[in-house]
Chains A and B, each alone.
Chain A
């Protein structure tokens, strides 16, 4: 009604402009109304805690003063404590070794699975679906299964003895084998994710490229190295970064299978931050450790967004 009253005596051109402006305002308002509830929720329960982490890491908050009482400002003392104690550095190194090993293994096996199950044979689709289960299971359950299989009298040691592959290994209580166990367990979780993304990547490669390569006399290996891998590049990029982020998150798996042990040999940044806050009740130290983790993740996140942007620019 109102619109008509204002625009009646104007020229059609001006009328169009007014209608457009009103439509745009309608778009903006509706957009905000729809998005803001979820955004505010996330800002309150995720955004605020991230900022509060910085505040907490500069104070001395412990079990005595967490609810009430004075929380003295100590500056960077918490960070100094953590780096002097050395476990934080150990946990950073452990997390990096673990993440790198997992990403590489998941990718190689995931690619092999993707190549196998993207061939058209009976049950291929269904079997690929079954493999997805390992990705959907709660990490707690996976940790429990691997802890059992790799325990002293577990099925892994039993198999190794039966097949004469080596002597009894105390997998979970010896430093290097404990790390290997965790890497195997996490690789098991990550394979389906790699397989699915690489399968999607494979289906986007046009078939006739291979045919013309065959005519030119290329063999299977040449076709794989020269054609398949380069054409999978976008999928590989996102897998590397997403793989990093998802593997870096590891918490339940380590907490349950090794609890960071033996003697911090598998202590990760996440489990260490948890231990500081909720086993030792040094909340400020926990916040400081989490902040170091945040800085590392932030840098990788920026790298990822930069890569996505570059892909988008080059493909458009």
Chain B
């Protein structure tokens, strides 16, 4: 029993709700394009009356740190963490999903628990550990290693359900055709689980991309810190230059938006898999 008005009323309500909900995002981008003088003008301007891209091109005052440098640092950290997390998590999830062995239940539980721990919990001992390893200083390594610990458990838990769900006949027929364990994995199982692999790679990247706490604690050299740390630093100044900071924010969400556009449908499924079935 469908009501008449729903054909046009529901889409309008839906669009209105979405626009209202995403207003903060619009406001950030608009502010980044306004000249300094227009930002706090009263009455407020809802769109930039003069477009000014200066905030994207100039280095932020009083520092050698600029947007694109921060972008590069974040990319190095996020890609490094993504690589470690993927290389370690794919075999682990395959093992937990397809093989029965004593202790597998406990192992899964350990991954589940570590997924829930906040970074702030282990920050102090981790800092001291890295200090002893000589990794506190002008290096990306400590931050990359630490951020991979967020991607790994999420990837293991999410991918395990993928691998566990694949029919047993796949493996058996591959074995009959003479494929060994390794060949079966690379030729048959991995390609089928690709949507799941994409999801966990995306999330491992995003977790590390959004990191602030590790990057600003472990990397001593300001010009090597991620873009989020740049934002933190510039927000700490007495007079915040808002169009510059908003430009920082806009640039830092570029990968998030790109990822969102290309793998959106995978993300929804990955999220529900990891969270509900986990």
Contacts and interface: CB of A to CB of B under 8 A. Distances in A.
Interface of A: 27-28, 30-35, 37-39, 41-43, 45-50, 52-53, 56, 61, 66-67, 113, 116-117, 119, 121-124, 127, 129-134, 136-142, 144-149, 153, 155, 158, 162, 188, 191, 193, 196-197, 200, 235, 238, 242, 245, 248-249, 251-252, 255-256, 269-271, 273-274, 277-278, 283, 286-287, 290, 293-294, 297, 301, 305
Interface string B139-166: 0000001101100110010000000000
A256 B231 contact: yes
10 contacts: A32-B95, A39-B92, A50-B122, A52-B128, A116-B10, A127-B18, A129-B265, A248-B118, A256-B232, A290-B120
Contacts, number: 278
B65 interface: no
B56 interface: no
A138 B272 contact: no
B31 A131 contact: no
Given A42-B153, A287-B124, 16 more contacts: A27-B101, A30-B99, A38-B91, A41-B152, A116-B10, A117-B14, A122-B11, A132-B268, A145-B249, A188-B24, A193-B271, A196-B272, A197-B276, A251-B212, A255-B212, A297-B117
B123 A277 contact: yes
Interface in B83-124: 84, 88-89, 91-92, 94-96, 99-102, 104, 107, 109-114, 116-124
A290 B124 contact: yes
Contact of A277 (B14, B124, B257): B124
A45 B126 contact: yes
B116 A137 contact: no
Given A42-B149, A117-B14, A141-B231, A130 B22 contact: yes
B3 to A, nearest CB: 11
A255 to B, nearest CB: 7
B256 A138 contact: yes
A24 B27 CA distance: 60
Contact of B213 (A33, A132, A144, A251): A251
Interface string B1-43: 0000011001101110110011011011001000000001011
B127 interface: yes
Contacts of B109: 305
Interface in B182-222: 206, 209-213, 217
* Max chain A Cβ within 10 angstroms of own Cβ: one of B113, B232, B252: B113
A174 to B, nearest CB: 19
Contacts of B170: none
Contacts of B232: 140, 255-256
Nearest to B207: A138
A56 B125 CA distance: 8
B131 A53 contact: no
B27 A148 contact: yes
